[in-house]
Amino acid sequence: MKKLKNLKFSLEADIYKDEVIEKTSACNDESYENCIHDLIKNENVNLMRSFQQHCSHSCFDHCLYVSYLSFKVCKMLNLDYKSAARGALLHDMFLYDWRNTQLPEGRHAFVHANIACRNANRIFALNDREKDVITKHMWPVTLSLPRYRESYIVGFIDKYCTFREIQNYYCSLIKFEYKGEKANE
């Protein structure tokens, strides 16, 4: 299989060297690439690159981050890692700027999962787990319980990634300076 050379995990959200190295190694993780290769080449999936998600991260970057970590966790737990990776990559494929778009269906946080699933289902033949991953990733904000363990995992990893993206953004704005005495002076 041809390597996806443009698949990079250099998200600013991870400040620990070992995590950055682990995610960068995804470029050489053929089994992950096999799970998502048809999705990653799709022009609608790549449209997510043009929408800002959390702070300085695009929707695509965020979804790729969630997808890869979900893949790793589900694979380690002997779950359906392929459906988890694919559903996670598509979980925020709502394709609009949520900061400036008024939705007739309701507020973005409550309806974007269904919009993303509808968009993804028009393009790809999704299985039941992938649909559940996409539509339930906002639980408990949305009240429908996830049906599969993979859906819970993707939902929790989505929240973790969101926290890390936002945390890193705001921590980068804070400058600490100590003007007190130095030791042994």
Residue closest to 62 by CA, chosen among 172, 171, 158, 132: 158
- Whether the predicted pLDDT of 83 surpasses 90: yes
29 or 23: which carries more pLDDT confidence?
29
pLDDT value of residue 94 = 67
64 or 97: which carries more pLDDT confidence?
64
Pick the CATH number of 17-173 from 3.30.310, 1.10.3210, 3.30.70, 3.40.1620: 1.10.3210
Q: Average model confidence (pLDDT) for the chain?
A: 76
Q: How far apart are CA 67 and CA 4, in angstroms?
A: 15
Lookup: tokens for 117 = 């699933």
What helix, strand, coil percent values describe the chain, rounded to 5?
60, 0, 40
With beta carbons less than 8 A apart as the criterion, state whether 128 and 28 touch.
Answer: no
Residue closest to 69 by CA, chosen among 164, 136, 139: 164
Token look-up 């996830």 returns: 146
Residue 43's contacts (CB-CB under 8 Å, 6 or more residues apart) are none
Q: Is 0.85 surpassed by the pTM of this model?
A: no
**Amino acid residing at 36:** I
Give the number of other CB atoms < 10 A from CB of residue 142. 18
pLDDT value of residue 136 = 87
pLDDT value of residue 172 = 61
- Whether the predicted pLDDT of 132 surpasses 60: yes
- What are the residue boundaries of the structural domains of the chain, listed by start? 17-173
- Whether the predicted pLDDT of 18 surpasses 50: no
76-86 in b/e form (b: 16+ CB < 10 A) is eeebbbbbbbb
Token look-up 């919009």 returns: 115
